[in-house]
Amino acid sequence: MSTLTRLVGGAALITLATTVVLGLGLPPTQEQGDYVRLIAIHPPLAWASYLSFGVTALASAAYLLPRTRARRWDHIAGASAEVGVVFTALTLITGSIWGRPTWGVWWVWDARLTLTALMLFLFLGYLALRRVGGDPDTNAKRSAIAALLAVTVVPIDHFAVQWWRTLHQRQSLTLTPKENLDGNYIAVMLLGFVAITLTYAWLTMHRFRVERAMDEAGDRSLDAAIAERRAEAGAATTTTAVGR
């Protein structure tokens, strides 16, 4: 593990723990009661989902461009997408917990919720596509194109609360003190953004190393298999020559 990874991990742990402690200390509101404390982690989780899939799209574009094509971009794209899927699932879970006392139901086919679920399934499909066998370069190109198509849902999901009438509130950063979001709520939420972003970076670093190690192991296995086949072919040729 590199020094940078340790530093990012340590910073993520400290800021995440601080966010949880301060978030639990937020006073309840008249409208949402204790559930308002989820503002410390729910919006940051949604942000991390967008960030993850944005990085996946950028890395995919870098892989598709001949001048920047390198296997590391494919590894970054896959690693970021895997972390993004986790954060998107957590976004839906925390959103449902928050929405139950506010809307009276765990789930509603609201534009924001539906698009977030669609985003989750699109990138699950992207990850499944990455596991399809075949030539590694061809598979990487195919996956990169899929990522660029899937990421188009991200801005639509983000602006859904502005473009359509939805049950979901507007972006949390746009809410005012009149809506019971004073400086304490905003400060804890902003710290949550930092904590979740650092957590995303730390997890992606580790997953990138795993992707690269698996790729290198596959290359070594392929080289060993080729060498073995060549040895077998050489032995067969020698046997044939002796028989003659």
Sign of the Cα pseudo-torsion (65, 69, 73, 78, in order):
positive
Instruction: Using alpha carbons, list the distances in angstroms from residue 174 to 61, 162, 196.
Output: 32, 11, 20
Whole-model pTM? 0.81
pLDDT of residue 176: 45
Residues in CB range of 61: below 8 A, 6 or more apart: 144, 148
pLDDT mean for each 10 residues of the chain (244 residues): 87 95 87 85 94 96 93 94 96 89 81 90 94 86 94 90 68 50 84 96 93 70 54 56 55
pLDDT of residue 120: 95
221: exposed, middle or buried (Cβ count in 10 Å: 0-12, 13-18, 19+): exposed
Q: 20, 82 in Cβ contact below 8 A?
A: no
pLDDT of residue 178: 47
